[in-house]
Structure 1
């Protein structure tokens, strides 16, 4: 990490912009298709026949479908598991398009990533508040002991479980605040939150991803790194809404706020 926090933030912003606008970044998600809605196995505008079969999806393709699996032209039938890596590394492709298999609460879906998607072509950037050190505050992570599943709404209109591992406690404007958080890869934290700017000067909710806490639970909370959720970039994502208690009653005009408007 750079000794200058402003420079470190600028480098982080450059990497974030590159990831967002990448050929298979969130702007390229052109479709999300639940297989339960397509029992016949045919998805409009997606080649091949896709059928859920327990813990796998069976893909059947003819020569005219133009599909490739593992980088080679494919015809016949193959059984596929959920994709674990980035969209650009998915096993199934058609030209530049990548088809990613996703499973949520037992349901299978096919996601269609297209570098030529209209959302990617129309992208003009993200409105971001310049770095301000007052939005960097000390915090403490207080684990629950075991994960608590909370039912929350998602951007696609459905409710799903959100696993929460504890509370992140910090102070803003002299008052103690808390956010319920999940624990991600490497012990990093993840919060879905809203604040007094949400839906007005910023997107209706945002993500915050503090690093893994120290052994005593202390962690730096940096709202300069508040992120727009994937569903701010393309309508087809399933982003969870903030769980109860994760709407701050103060304005946090820091970090990413919304997409640049033409």
Structure 2
């Protein structure tokens, strides 16, 4: 999802907003189905599980070394780093960009180095992944202007770190910078939100449709609040988390208090396969 889409604000009439949402949805489907989109992830391999440095189905030797991963390979391994065949050793930091920009390639595959809470892992993105070929579209509720509601961001005095379950079964920290308040059918609701480095907000939430008409939880990125904390909250752009497309993502589950009692019949609902 593009930054412009994430920071979308309602500026036109309902017809224009609906057309913009359709464009956003079409772009979102294309991004999901891209060669190195979330459907292409075939594995997340934690190096702590492989102390000998050998990852199944991934050539080379991978080992942790303080603030880096050391990758050792021979010409027979077929590994390319920064566009050049690797013969010998290279130190790798965590990849910060999209998978197709990863430093390490193996044919059409991209091997992405990540670090979470001090632990290193290698992600394997394969454009030929079965999930990518089976994918049809993202099922989403048609645009409804009623699900664009005014909101208010209330920052915490200090960021709070809570432990939440992740999609891979582990618990990890989730930083929360405040709460987002909004009204649905005359009742106020709140979501605890993360404040990103650029000031935009991100929420992990469930609602009365979760697991019953929509995926078990979703993401919401309402953009950046104004100086007074006000912003527009567009649930038409509720997102499926990456783990809805591949089992190897580490998506956090909603923190306590982020399960809405109302059904949010808006936004993305489920992945559909052909």
Q: Within 2, Cα distance between the matches of 1:71 and 1:5? A: 43
2:45 to 33, 58, 63: 33
> Secondary structure in 1 aligned to 2:90?
strand
Matched, 1:65 2:77: yes
1:251 match: 263
Q: Map of 1:1-262 to 2, 5 A cutoff?
A: 3=12, 4-262=16-274
Note if contact 2:202-2:221 (Cα within 8 Å) is conserved in structure 1. Answer: yes
Q: TM-score, normalised by structure 2?
A: 0.94
Are the structure 2 counterparts of residues 22 and 261 from structure 1 closer, same or farther at C-alpha, using a change threshold of 3 Å? closer
Bigger Cα displacement from structure 2, 11-20 vs 135-144: 11-20
> Secondary structure in 2 aligned to 1:161?
strand
C-alpha displacement at 1:186, in angstroms?
2.1
> For the aligned residues, what is the CA RMSD?
1.0
C-alpha displacement at 1:156, in angstroms?
0.3
Q: Which runs of 5+ in 1 are unaligned?
A: none
Q: Within 2, Cα distance between the matches of 1:171 and 1:243? A: 20
> Secondary structure in 1 aligned to 2:198?
helix
Q: TM-score, normalised by structure 1?
A: 0.98
Q: Which runs of 5+ in 2 are unaligned?
A: 1-7
Moved over 3 A (4+): none
How many residues matched?
262
> Secondary structure in 2 aligned to 1:50?
strand
